[in-house]
Amino acid sequence: MVNPSKSSNSAEAGNATAEFVMVIGLVVLLFAGVLQVAFVLYTRNMMVDAAASGARYGTLLDRSYEDGAVRTRQLLDDNLPVGGTTEVSYQVVNHGGVQMLEMRVNAPLPIIGPFGVPHTLTVSGHAALQR
């Protein structure tokens, strides 16, 4: 005689393992996506901070605009793994009747870890001129 409850359990014996593997695969992909978004936001925030700090540094009375650009590059190299592939430029702009130094930073948008498409993420920082 065949026990009906026993045959139904043996037919579903491998389902828990298959379901676990499928769910874990989705959880790992979701976790990797969240980590990548966090890395992109970190990269952008570090770029904004470096541009603003460099602009403020370049407007000090005993510093030049180029000193501000060097400071921006130094902060990016210290804080980002893609720091060496960034481009830093500066210009004096007029914003609301106030002369300001603008530091502009171009860097790759990290797609997979620190690797990404070059020149796709652009931020700028401003500081009022003290001269």
> Which residue range forms the structural domain that includes residue 39?
12-128
Is 99 inside a domain boundary? yes
Choice among 15-24, 46-55, 67-76, 90-99 with the minimum mean pLDDT: 15-24
pLDDT tens profile 1-19: 555 555 556 666 668 888 8
Cα angle for residues 77, 81, 85 (degrees, 5° grid): 65
Task: Give domain status of residue 3, yes or no.
Answer: no
Is residue 6 assigned to a domain? no
Residue 64 identity:
S
In a domain, 96, yes or no: yes
pLDDT at 113 over 80: no
H/E element holding 35?
helix 15-58
* Tally of domains in the chain: 1
